[in-house]
Structure 1
Amino acid sequence: MYASVANFGAFTKGVVAASRRTGALEQIDAMKRFGNADVQKAVQLTQFDSAGVLVPIQQSGEVIEFLRPEAALLKLGVRAQAFKGELHMGTQTEASVFKWIGEGGTVPKSAPKYGKIVLKAHKGMVLTDISNDLLHTPGVGDAGVGEDLRATVADGLDDAGFNGDGTGGTPKGLFVQLDSAHSFANTGTTPAAYLADIDKAVELPLTAHVRMGATAWVLHPTRATALMQLKDSGLFIFRQEMLDNGTIRGFPFVLTTRVPVTRITFCADWRQFIYGIDEELSLSKHDTRAEYDETTIRAIVKADFKLRQPKAFSSITY
């Protein structure tokens, strides 16, 4: 319904004027110039059999990225170690013993003891079937798919590096290899309890004689929020330090959703985490689905993770 014959006439003029224009903005401008802009815009843009048929469809070349966790292990400064097949690394587990003796006394014999850690190649893979038509589409083609596969593999390595349980073909990650004496339950969630537990997490590697190196915390963003909101007598305990310096108790921290929200983990030297790469990420194309006019893209990597000095790590559980 139109308020007057004049309004209806204005709308009709707008449609005629719009039909002579090609751009969407020009069409909208023409409709507005002849009045009843709200009604006319609705007719133009939402009714295909009316003026809406004149609005061209545009496809942006931009593809909105998929949100995924950032790779955190390499950011922490772990030790990347190249190897082939299987790598054995010797480790000293005990030292000889020094003793004072009196005149005529004897000293018991002692000697250092040794063991080894072993890195074995664990294979991880991603397979993707993609239409050959899409392969030639900007933003979705082989480059776009390749970048997605690389990011997926990096995330998979990060997840296994933290949480891998060693079952099936999965390598063992950090939390399975922690020294049992260095993983402890929290004493509470009061300000005093948080402070005591964080102090203990720093103390454990130091009393185990681990030398400070690439020192850092790693924790879930939700746990970091809990720390920042912690108050004592109305004053924030960690918030200012975390926001201003990016540290907790003087040591930097890294946030990732790949660690459980139930843990706060500290390491005196992340170089004690061996990030073993047997085979760098390789991408390849295969015509195994040619009858569907599709190409299979394969991403493959071989890796393993080991703690060189497990006592360099400590973890609070909540």
Structure 2
Amino acid sequence: MTREQIAEMVKALGPEVARELVDSANRSAPGRAGPDTTTRDGSVLTSVENFGAFTKSVVAATCRTGAIALTDAVKRFGNADVQKAVQLSKFDSAGVLVPIQRSGEVIEFLRPDAALLKLGVRTQPFKGELHLGKQTGTTTFKWVGEGETVPKSAPTYGMIVLKAHKGMVLTDISNDLLRTPGVGDAGVGEDIRATVADGLDDAGFNGDGTGSSPKGLFAQISSSHTFTNTGTTAAAYTADIDKAVELPLTAHIRMGTPGWVLHPTRATALMQLKDSGIFVFRQEMLDKGTIRGFPFVLTTRVPVTRITFSADWRQFIYGIDEDLLLSEHDTRAEYDETTIRAIVKGDFKLRQPKAFSSITY
């Protein structure tokens, strides 16, 4: 389009509306200029007629802001060129109208469904690779007599490295479902959030570092802080729980955000435990939400065979390299379906492995 043609469009629509429409068209995949700055063939900006059809489609779709609504409107108002341009990449061509694109606050986006985040782990944004220092040893205190010398001591330090691991969700969604009130983009976004949170929790607890997966908690916890239960009697359960709390404290880990994480089935076993006919843990767990005075989080992402404690969950580094990116792709138009893709990059590291302890059953 020439400047004169755009000026005529501005006169008809008003400057603010026209500017928004032109920006939308420019940001669309078929609207962007090619490497030689020329307008691509089939672009909505190729002609006044194409841009006019695009404008009518946007106006018709504004009450239902979404790629599906725009595509439907284009079928009514757009000519063949415009329909082809918008269909090239639904998310890119109508991305400015789609409410689920990118979650800049990815931690808040995932928090309602992520057990690790409920435990109070430390979240750390990074790009590509991040080196964090950690203290591995302390100075030594010693009493001395007159004329005696004190051997020098110094704190020692190590390094932990966060590296980006990429996780994805890919699913085909019926366009009829996307158009359904109460589901649509928002419903799909909620489902993907829960799926991504579940995947990150699974890796954060159980990841073994093989292939492209990161290492999780159980692959990094100090071997001296993992022990087998001594029995299933009330006395044995109590002694094991006490030992799990004691191990991080005797390793000189300061209390920060302490707490337990366990499988719901293991929690049920604790609540059913009796000593001389009296429940040992039940009332505390139900009334206060604690075990031995420390809060607990239930999740099926941890094995039913473990009860895990940390004196400070902030020693668990939950690194996110890239914001959660959601995109729509019209790759299954013949089935009237849209392919939804979600990508997130992250890594997990224990700053102090001895801040954690785990009982296996």
TM-score of the pair, normalised by structure 2: 0.65
Tell me the equivalent position of 1:236. 279
CA deviations 1:78-116 (Å, max 9, x no partner) are 111111111100112122334445566554443332210
Q: Which runs of 5+ in 1 are unaligned?
A: 1-68
CA deviations 1:28-69 (Å, max 9, x no partner) are xxxxxxxxxxxxxxxxxxxxxxxxxxxxxxxxxxxxxxxxx9
Q: State the one-letter code of the partner of 2:204.
A: G
Tell me the equivalent position of 1:21. none
The verdict on how the C-alpha distance between 1:236 and 1:168 changes in structure 2, with shifts beyond 3 A counting, is same
Which of 99, 115, 121 is residue 158 of structure 2 equivalent to? 115
Tell me the equivalent position of 1:192. 235
CA RMSD in angstroms, aligned pairs only: 1.9
Matched, 1:89 2:137: no
Deviation at 1:296, TM superposition (A): 1.6
- In 2: Cα distance, 1:128 partner to 1:116 partner: 39
- In 2: Cα distance, 1:70 partner to 1:141 partner: 20
SS at structure 1 position matched to 2:331: coil
Tell me the equivalent position of 1:313. 356
CA deviations 1:151-201 (Å, max 9, x no partner) are 100111111111111111111111111011111111111111101000001
Task: Decide which moves more: 289-298 or 194-203.
Answer: 289-298
Matched, 1:124 2:167: yes
Q: Given that residues 76 and 216 in structure 1 are in contact (C-alpha distance below 8 angstroms), is that contact kept between their aligned partners in structure 2?
A: yes
- In 2: Cα distance, 1:180 partner to 1:85 partner: 29
Tell me the equivalent position of 1:169. 212
Q: Given that residues 132 and 293 in structure 1 are in contact (C-alpha distance below 8 angstroms), is that contact kept between their aligned partners in structure 2?
A: yes
SS at structure 2 position matched to 1:211: coil
Q: Given that residues 127 and 298 in structure 1 are in contact (C-alpha distance below 8 angstroms), is that contact kept between their aligned partners in structure 2?
A: yes
SS at structure 2 position matched to 1:212: coil
Tell me the equivalent position of 2:83. none
CA deviations 1:112-159 (Å, max 9, x no partner) are 322100011110001112233443233443332222111100111111
Tell me the equivalent position of 1:38. none
Q: State the one-letter code of the partner of 2:331.
A: T
Q: Given that residues 70 and 256 in structure 1 are in contact (C-alpha distance below 8 angstroms), is that contact kept between their aligned partners in structure 2?
A: no
- In 2: Cα distance, 1:283 partner to 1:175 partner: 30
Q: Which has the higher helix share?
A: 2
- In 1: Cα distance, 2:165 partner to 2:275 partner: 47
- In 2: Cα distance, 1:222 partner to 1:292 partner: 42
Count the aligned residue pairs: 250
- In 2: Cα distance, 1:76 partner to 1:93 partner: 24
Larger Rg: 1
Tell me the equivalent position of 1:283. 326
Tell me the equivalent position of 1:47. none
- What is the correspondence of 1:112-261 to structure 2 with a 5 Å cutoff? 112-261=155-304
SS at structure 2 position matched to 1:287: strand
Q: Which runs of 5+ in 2 are unaligned?
A: 1-111
- In 1: Cα distance, 2:298 partner to 2:267 partner: 8
Deviation at 1:280, TM superposition (A): 1.9
SS at structure 2 position matched to 1:73: helix
Tell me the equivalent position of 1:31. none
Tell me the equivalent position of 1:56. none
- In 2: Cα distance, 1:135 partner to 1:238 partner: 46
